């Protein structure tokens, strides 16, 4: 188990432009997410599940890996991750409205089931934790092909890994244990990012585990474990980049645990007032990842308040435009409902 202090400061190597780009993705994600809540309350979309509060560790994960090269197996809360990997705000909205042109599933899956063949984002099931064995299997394939020289010629020297995300509550599922064990046995180029927001809908973390950290289980699997502040972009990047370097060097898998919080209900269909106090929620709102990263960028003299305001205005305009285009998109034909989600017969 490493602590954040022991990891090298990879974040110190991020350029000003990259830091600002990361901040922009967080703000676009937040504005898009807030719009989805409003659309749900207006009765325009059927369901929303939110990334609010999780933006820091997700943007850090996208920037730590080699985007478009590594394989990503996200979960439903990964809006910021999907955007930072290259999925467009409109892609998310097309899914939320279940439009025919929804690139994730043609309107066949629930919203926020992110996927893109071009971006190496693999579609998942709604059953929690099922993406973890898929990701470990992909990591096994990466290692197997590398060892046997089976990669495409232009790919022979390209290190790759599989990254997957999951909530802390879903680590109670058997699939998670099976996949983590497999990753340990085969020393796979694999990262499991646990976004620990302390609740699985209404069930608090201490009812899921007797251990203070999910990553405390890492030694039992024979993988590396790390716990970090998931509301801090730079701490998250340091921990995840170290995990990526280990995977690329052939040193095996990492169980990376981001401590974070969702300051909103679990989904549009949840009322969190029934299981947690407003004081607790307010305390976490003071640790909001976007406010924190914005302050860091200002303290470092990289941006002024005016710049933050301009980024916010631009994000709102981007969301407005994406929504306009989404509303104009066609609805699917009812007879298409049972069609394929990820691959079709003519998919190569």
Ligand X SMILES: Cc1ncc(C[n+]2csc(CCOP(=O)(O)OP(=O)(O)O)c2C)c(N)n1
Binding residues for Mg ion, rule: CB under 5 A, are: 167-169, 197, 200
Look at the alpha carbons of 139, 143, 144, 146 in this order and tell me if their dihedral is positive or negative: positive
Look at the alpha carbons of 102, 103, 107, 113 in this order and tell me if their dihedral is positive or negative: negative
Among 55, 168, 232, 318, binds ligand X (CB under 6 A): 168
Q: Which stretch binds ligand X (CB under 6 A): 10-18, 100-108, 168-176, 181-189?
A: 168-176
Q: Which stretch binds ligand X (CB under 6 A): 106-114, 135-143, 191-199, 280-288?
A: 191-199
- What CA–CA distance (Å, rounded) separates 78 from 87? 11
Closest approach of Mg ion to the CB of residue 198, in Å: 6
Q: Which two tokens stand for residue 55?
A: 């933006």
Closest approach of ligand X to the CB of residue 285, in Å: 17
Q: Which two tokens stand for residue 157?
A: 């020297």
- CA–CA distance from 179 to each of 134, 197, 214, 227, 320 (Å)? 8, 22, 15, 19, 40
Give the residue with the Cβ less far from ligand X, 87 or 195.
195
Told to check if 79 binds ligand X by CB under 6 A, we report: no
- What CA–CA distance (Å, rounded) separates 62 from 188? 19
- H or E element, residue 72: strand 71-73
Among 112, 116, 197, 236, binds ligand X (CB under 6 A): 197
Contacts 24+ apart (CB under 8 A), 175-178: 175/129, 175/130, 175/132, 175/133, 176/129, 176/132, 178/133
Give the residue with the Cβ less far from ligand X, 170 or 254.
170
Closest approach of ligand X to the CB of residue 260, in Å: 9
Give the residue with the Cβ less far from ligand X, 197 or 326.
197
Told to check if 265 binds ligand X by CB under 6 A, we report: no
Told to check if 150 binds ligand X by CB under 6 A, we report: no
Told to check if 127 binds ligand X by CB under 6 A, we report: yes
* Nearest by Cα to 193 from 166, 170, 218: 166
Among 79, 200, 242, 244, binds ligand X (CB under 6 A): 200
Told to check if 128 binds ligand X by CB under 6 A, we report: yes
* 3-class secondary-structure state, position 209: coil
Please state, as a whole number, how many other Cβ atoms lie within 10 Å of the Cβ of residue 220.
Answer: 13
Told to check if 201 binds ligand X by CB under 6 A, we report: yes
Q: Which two tokens stand for residue 156?
A: 């022979």
Among 95, 111, 167, 230, binds ligand X (CB under 6 A): 167
* 3-class secondary-structure state, position 329: coil
The closest residue (CB) to Mg ion is: 167
Closest approach of ligand X to the CB of residue 162, in Å: 19
Interface residues toward ligand X, by CB under 6 A: 77, 126-128, 167-170, 195, 197, 199-201, 266
């Amino acid at each position: 188990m490493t602590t954040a202090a022991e990891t090298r400061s990879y974040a110190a190597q991020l350029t000003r432009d990259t830091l600002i780009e990361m901040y922009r993705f967080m703000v676009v994600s937040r504005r898009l997410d807030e719009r989805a809540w409003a659309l749900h309350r207006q009765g325009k979309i059927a369901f929303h599940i939110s990334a609010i509060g999780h933006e820091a560790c997700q943007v850090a994960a996208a920037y730590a890996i080699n985007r478009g090269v590594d394989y990503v197996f996200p979960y439903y809360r990964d809006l910021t991750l999907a955007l930072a990997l290259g999925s467009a705000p409109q892609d998310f909205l097309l899914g939320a409205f279940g439009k025919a042109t929804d690139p994730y599933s043609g309107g066949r899956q629930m919203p926020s089931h992110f996927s893109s063949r071009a971006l190496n984002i693999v579609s998942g099931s709604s059953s929690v934790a099922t993406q973890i064995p898929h990701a470990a299997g992909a990591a096994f394939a990466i290692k197997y092909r590398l060892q046997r020289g089976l990669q495409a010629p232009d790919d022979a020297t390209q290190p790759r890994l599989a990254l997957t995300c999951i909530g802390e509550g879903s680590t109670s599922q058997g699939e998670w244990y099976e996949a983590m064990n497999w990753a340990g046995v085969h020393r796979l180029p694999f990262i499991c990012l646990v976004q620990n927001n302390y609740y699985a809908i209404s069930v608090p973390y201490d009812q899921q585990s007797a251990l203070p950290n999910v990553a405390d289980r890492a030694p039992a699997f024979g993988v590396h474990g790390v716990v970090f502040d998931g509301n801090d972009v730079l701490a998250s990047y340091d921990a995840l980049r170290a995990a990526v370097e280990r995977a690329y060097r052939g040193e095996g898998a990492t169980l990376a645990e981001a401590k974070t919080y969702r300051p909103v209900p679990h989904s549009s269909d949840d009322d969190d007032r029934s299981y947690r106090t407003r004081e607790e929620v307010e305390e976490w709102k003071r640790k909001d990842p976007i406010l924190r990263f914005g302050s860091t960028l200002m303290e470092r003299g990289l941006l002024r308040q005016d710049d933050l305001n301009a980024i916010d205005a631009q994000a709102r305009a981007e969301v407005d435009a994406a929504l306009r285009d989404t509303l104009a998109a066609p609805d699917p034909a009812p007879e298409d409902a049972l069609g394929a989600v990820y691959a079709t017969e003519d998919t190569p």
